[in-house]
Structure 1
Amino acid sequence: MRKLILLLAMLTYIPASYAFDRAKLFDSFFSIVLVRGYNHDGSLAYGSGVIIAPNKVLTNCHVLRQTKEPWVSRGEDSYTITAIQADSWHDICLLTMENLPFKAVTLGNSNTLKKGQETISVGHSSGNPSPVTSVGIIKSIYPLDHGSVIRSTARFALGASGSGLFDGEGRLIGINTFKTIGRNAYFYAVPVEWISYIEKLPAEPPHSLEGPAFWEANDADKPFFLQVAAPELQEDWIKLQEVANNWVKAEPDNSEAWYELGLANEKLDKLVEAETAYRKSVAVNALNTDSLFRLGMLAAKKGDTKEMHTIQLALLEIDQDIAAEFSHEAGCAEQC
């Protein structure tokens, strides 16, 4: 009963401006569990997990590193893990239990997401026995290995690794996995599509897991979308320009790569080069609101009201909130 009251309270705290289906989200909350285990030094390791099928819990593999005899719990009830299917590089592990009496979540699709889409994160931060929620929006989507790694503003803290990232319909779209350091951290979730990989792996008895995840690799071996994160956060525009140049050479059809190059050039006051990069970004993906937004701001600097109006209309077709933000930043009234 206490759990029910807590979940109802969390639903109440979701801002009314977010278009979430609260009834469907309520079911999603009950798919979240705690994942625990004792480290070799006797300390307690903990994370979160999401029930994706009968007796199956999805979590991050790094939650289970150096642990022995891990288990899953909810409230005062614990469930022994009988088998693990592990993909350490993608940092997803599928745990098998017996007699887990909870309903599985509905799976979504990370490849159909768009920037600005509303999300909600649900997990057990810092080992808290009650799940914690955080709402946000999708900032970027990065295709990787037949899924899309998601960067959102739905925050999560220590202990929430393996928690769920849900869309407004309560569908699981990602597993919250890692974040950058600092106050203005970027938060990333790995895609649900990677479940198809892990389901094909052999089931093994519970054991300590080894091996780095893709996001823990040396900087030069990380995906480009992670290589640009640190210089962007640190406002190291020369470094960002260098990495983004390498990115567009390696992936000329990647809209995000061209956006990052445009941003670096704009911050370095190379406005012609910035505009060229932003336009290439939009040519690859006409729905890239970040690039459209920056093109509009460059037009505002030049006093090009015709271009500003064109950008505003394009943003209105995609996301009215982003269009309103652009109008405000560009100094327009209701219409540029």
Structure 2
Amino acid sequence: MNEISARDVFASARTSVWMLRAMAPGGTVLQGSAIAVSSRHLLTTCHLVSTTDSAEISQGSARRAVSVVLRDQRTDRCILAVAEPTLRPVRAVRPFRQLGVGERVYTVSAPAGRELTLGEGLVSSLHPSPTLSIIQTTAPMSLGSSGGALFDARGNLIGVVAFRAREVRSLGFAIAAEDFWTLR
């Protein structure tokens, strides 16, 4: 399949990426994103929901309660679930082994609480591992981008936004999406 425009990647992704809010002890609200991969399940980073077993996702005025169903704090991978199968999943997940440095990629997340924000960049390095593969990218990431989606230029989910380098703003990292399927 050929590459599609940034506009088409966003149009395909917008119904699958949700803003996530979780309540931390002391009343602090942690905010990020989560990505629907089935009609009931979403992927996100555990540091957003580390202190709770439940949270809320939203898109515009739509809101749904979510619970943590699988978690690996050590690798920052969490899978959430909604009670009713109402989510629209991403169209496909592309394997890490098929990725190449220099590919155009797009983030869709909620930086600074700005729901459904699109960013563009390149795969700048790949860090394979038997337990957790990491995609390094120049796509923009900032506070609130965690748990957001990293898509390839065909609209396939390739990663879950995890963190960015503090000293280099244009250096972000995503956990390979397929690595969430190994959670037990």
TM over 0.5: yes
Partners of 1:78 and 1:185 lie apart in 2 by 32
Aligned residues: 180
The one-character-per-residue Cα deviations of 1:158-180 (angstroms, maximum 9, x if unpaired) are 01100000000100000010111
CA distance in 2, matches of 1:87, 1:109: 20
Does structure 2 retain, via aligned residues, the 8 Å contact 1:48–1:161?
yes
1:124 aligns with one of 107, 110, 121: 110
Runs of 4+ with >4 A deviation: none
For residue 265 of structure 1, what is the aligned residue in structure 2? none
1:44 Cα deviation from its structure 2 partner: 1.1
Compute the displacement of 1:77 (Å). 2.1
Residue 4 (structure 2) aligns with: 20
Q: Based on CA coordinates, which of the two structures has the bigger radius of gyration?
A: 1
**Matched AA of 2:21:** R
Report deviation, 1:102. Answer: 3.0
In structure 2, the residue matched to 1:29 is 14
| 5+ residue gaps, structure 1 | 1-18, 202-336
Q: Which has the higher contact order (CA 8 A, sep 6+)?
A: 2
- Label 1:80 to 1:111 Cα distance change in 2 as closer, same or farther (>3 A): same
SS of the residue corresponding to residue 158 of structure 1 reads coil
Q: Please report how far the alpha carbon of residue 146 of structure 1 lies from its aligned counterpart in structure 2 after TM superposition.
A: 5.5
Quick one: structure 1 residues 100 and 126, their matched pair in 2 at CA, closer, same or farther if it must change by over 3 Å?
A: farther
Q: Does 1:62 align with 2:47?
A: yes
1:165 pairs with one of 132, 142, 150:
150
Say if 1:79 and 1:108 are closer, same or farther in 2 by CA, change over 3 A. Answer: same
Deviations 1:177-221 (A, max 9, x none): 0111124442000001212212xx2xxxxxxxxxxxxxxxxxxxx
1:45-103 deviations in Å (ceiling 9; x for gaps): 11101001111010000011224641222222221124420011221100011225331
Q: Judge conservation of contact 2:160–2:174 (CA < 8 Å) in 1.
A: yes
Residue type of the alignment partner of 2:28: S
Give the structure-2-normalised TM-score.
0.90
Alignment partner of 1:99 out of 81, 84, 90: 84
2:29 partner letter: L
The structure that is strand-richer by fraction is 2
SS at match of 1:53: coil
- Partners in 2 of 1:136 and 1:24 — Cα distance? 13
TM-score (norm 1): 0.51
CA RMSD across the alignment: 1.8
Q: Which of the numbers 102, 110, 113 marks the counterpart of 2:99? A: 113
The percentage of counterpart residues that share the same residue type is 24
Distance 1:68 1:108 in 2: 29
Q: 1:145: how far off?
A: 2.1
| Amino acid of the structure 1 residue aligned with 2:31 | Y
Q: Which secondary structure state, in structure 2, belongs to the residue aligned with residue 144 of structure 1?
A: coil
Structure 2 residues without counterparts, runs of 5 or longer: none
Please state if 1:141 is matched with 2:130.
Answer: no
